[in-house]
Amino acid sequence: MISTITTAVSTIVSSSVGGLMVSLGAAGVLTLIASLVIKELATAGGTKGRSLGRNMDIVILPLLFVLSFAVSMKVWEILS
């Protein structure tokens, strides 16, 4: 009885965490794409736009690090 409950709880937790990670990853990628588009549009404008474009690096760089880490972990998982 206990082993059945433990297996069921383990399955539920692993599936919900996996789904959460996928949705967070998708949100991160969409945020990165939107930030890159905003930066490109801002730097094409005047002096205020260039200032905003430089400030967008604060948002873009951490997202690039997270994306590269996620991709490297996925490659590591596939190769292992």
Give the mean pLDDT of 36-50: 84
Residue 30's domain comprises: 23-79
Summarised one tens digit per residue, pLDDT across range 1-27 is: 555 556 655 555 555 555 666 677 788
pTM: 0.67
What is the domain count for the chain?
A: 1
Degrees to nearest 5, angle at CA 67 with 35 and 11: 120
Q: For residue 16, tell me if it sits in a domain.
A: no
Q: For residue 33, tell me if it sits in a domain.
A: yes
Q: For residue 70, tell me if it sits in a domain.
A: yes
Q: For residue 28, tell me if it sits in a domain.
A: yes
Q: For residue 2, tell me if it sits in a domain.
A: no
Q: For residue 61, tell me if it sits in a domain.
A: yes
Q: For residue 41, tell me if it sits in a domain.
A: yes
Q: For residue 1, tell me if it sits in a domain.
A: no
CB atoms within 10 A of CB 39: 19
What does the alpha-carbon distance between residue 60 and residue 13 come to, in Å, rounded to a whole number?
Answer: 32
